[in-house]
Amino acid sequence: MSTTYHIPQESAPRLAEMPTISATELKNATADVFEQVAARRAVAITRHDKPRAVLLSVDQYEALTAQQNPPWLDQLHEEYRGLLDRMQGSEQRAAAEKLFKATPEELGEAALWAAQQRKRNKA
């Protein structure tokens, strides 16, 4: 079973890709920094040359908060719940108990059988 999830490619800029300004620059030139943020979507604010905060444009903030529950994530969650429910069934529980009680010889035979099945399915 192979499902393709359509995940939007545009994401928030990475910290390493953001322009940086110091906290002092922010304090002394707030209006200029706001213009820079609006133009570049985000700016990292540094203190002693280490990033301490990120200032986002309104557009970037809305884009990030609008994707709290994207459809592909809901679809993935439903698939996971289905797999989990199937794995907790009585048949799977019995198979797991059998597996844990198997001898090394039985495990070896099962591994050989599975390998042969994979080989047949490829042909």
Q: Given pLDDT bands bounded at 50, 70 and 90, which one contains residue 64?
A: confident
pTM: 0.46
Domains and CATH numbers, the chain: 15-66 (3.40.1620.10)
What percentage of the chain has pLDDT greater than the value 90? 37
Separation between Cα atoms, residue 54 and residue 51, nearest integer Å = 8
Structure tokens at 48: 């002693």
DSSP codes of every residue in 19-46: -EEEHHHHHH-HHHHHHHHHHHSEEEEE
**Is residue 17's pLDDT more than 90?**
no
Q: How many CB atoms lie within 10 A of CB 24?
A: 10
Separation between Cα atoms, residue 5 and residue 18, nearest integer Å = 28
**Is residue 15's pLDDT more than 90?**
no
C-alpha distance from residue 51 to each of 34, 45, 94, 103 (Å): 17, 6, 53, 56
Which runs of E-coded beta strand occur in the chain? 20-22, 42-47, 50-56
